[in-house]
C-alpha cells in the first residue's frame, strides 16, 4: 500500500487533472498523467526511492483506464524517472533530480525550441484574447489569484520577493492551464496540454534562471488584469511579450548547457 503522504500527493495532483472522457483516452491522457507525475517527482511530493501508487490507485484518482496508467509508467521508465520492480511496484529513481532535468532538457535543441514557441505564439496570444472576451468575472478573479501565489502584494512589491521555486513552477503551470480553460475552446485546450507537456521540464528550467520567475509572474499579472478588464488586444499583446521573453531565456539555458 502507498503511504498516506503519497496518497495525499496524488489527491493534490489529481485536483488539477481534467478528464476528457473514456473515449478520448490514449496518448493525450497518458501525457497528462506523465506530466503530473513528473511534476510530483521534481517538487519532491514523490521522494527518491518512494513507491508510486499502484495502477489501480492512479486509475481511480485520475479517472482513466489502467492501460493509460501502464503506458504512463513505461514513458516514465524511458525518461529514467522511475524503475519497475516486478512484484513490488514502481519506484522513483535517482536522488539527484537534476539528472532528470538534464535528460529531458537535452532532448530539445535550439531549433526545437524555436519551432515550439512558433506554435505557442500562434495559439496562446489568441487564447489570452478569447479569455479576455469570454471569461466570467469569477474566472478572471481566479486567474489573478493564481498569480498572487507568487506576488501576493502585486508587481510593485516584487523587488526582493523570495518564493520557493516549486511554488513558482506550480503557479506557472496553473496560470496557463486556467487561461486556456477560460478561453472556452476545447480544441485549443487539448493542443496546449500536449504542447506544454513537451516543454514542461524546459519551462521549469527557465524558471530557475535568476530573475526569470519574477519577470514571468509580473507578465502573468498584467495578462490577468487585462483579462479581468475584458481587453482582448492588450491580453494578446501581453502574452506575445511573455512568450518572447521565456523563449529568449530558454535558448540561453540551452546555450549554456552546450558550452
Which CATH number is associated with domain 4-95?
Answer: 1.10.10.10
Sign of torsion, CA 51 52 53 59? negative
Which CATH number is associated with domain 108-257?
Answer: 1.20.120.530
CB 49 within 8 A of CB 73: no
Q: How does pLDDT run across 35-78, given as a tens digit for each residue?
A: 788 878 877 788 888 899 999 999 999 888 999 899 889 888 86
Residue 90 backbone dihedrals phi, psi, to 5 degrees: -110, 130
Residues whose CB falls within 8 Å of the CB of residue 56, separated by 6 or more in sequence, listed in order: 66
**Where along the chain do its domains lie?**
4-95, 108-257
- β-strands 82-85, 89-92: how paired? antiparallel
Sign of torsion, CA 85 88 93 95? negative
Q: pLDDT band at 236, cuts 50/70/90? A: very high
Q: pLDDT band at 226, cuts 50/70/90? A: very high
- Cα of 22 vs its chain's centroid, Å: 23
**Average of per-residue pLDDT across 204-213:** 80
Q: Is the whole-model pTM more than 0.85?
A: no
Element containing residue 105 per DSSP (H, E)? helix 97-107
Amino acid at each position: 500500500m502507498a503511504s498516506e503522504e503519497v496518497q495525499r500527493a496524488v489527491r493534490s495532483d489529481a485536483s488539477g487533472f481534467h478528464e476528457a472522457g473514456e473515449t478520448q483516452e490514449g496518448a493525450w491522457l497518458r501525457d497528462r498523467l506523465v506530466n503530473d507525475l513528473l511534476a510530483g517527482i521534481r517538487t519532491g511530493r514523490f521522494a527518491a526511492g518512494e513507491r508510486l501508487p499502484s495502477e489501480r490507485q492512479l486509475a481511480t484518482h485520475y479517472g482513466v483506464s489502467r492501460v493509460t496508467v501502464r503506458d504512463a509508467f513505461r514513458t516514465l521508465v524511458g525518461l529514467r524517472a522511475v524503475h519497475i520492480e516486478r512484484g513490488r511496484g514502481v519506484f522513483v529513481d535517482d536522488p539527484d533530480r537534476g539528472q532528470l532535468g538534464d535528460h529531458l532538457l537535452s532532448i530539445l535543441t535550439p531549433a526545437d525550441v524555436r519551432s515550439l514557441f512558433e506554435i505557442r505564439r500562434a495559439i496562446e496570444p489568441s487564447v489570452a484574447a478569447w479569455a479576455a472576451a469570454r471569461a466570467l468575472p469569477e474566472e478572471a478573479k481566479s486567474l489573478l489569484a493564481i498569480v498572487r501565489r507568487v506576488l501576493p502584494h502585486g508587481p510593485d512589491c516584487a523587488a526582493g520577493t523570495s518564493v520557493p521555486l516549486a511554488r513558482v513552477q506550480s503557479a506557472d503551470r496553473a496560470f496557463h492551464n486556467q487561461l486556456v480553460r477560460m478561453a472556452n475552446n476545447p480544441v485549443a485546450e487539448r493542443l496546449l496540454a500536449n504542447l506544454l507537456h513537451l516543454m514542461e521540464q524546459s519551462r521549469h528550467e527557465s524558471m530557475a534562471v535568476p530573475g526569470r520567475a519574477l519577470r514571468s509572474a509580473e507578465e502573468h499579472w498584467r495578462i490577468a488584469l487585462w483579462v479581468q478588464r475584458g481587453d482582448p488586444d492588450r491580453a494578446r499583446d501581453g502574452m506575445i511579450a511573455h512568450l518572447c521573453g521565456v523563449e529568449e531565456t530558454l535558448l540561453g539555458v540551452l546555450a549554456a548547457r552546450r558550452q
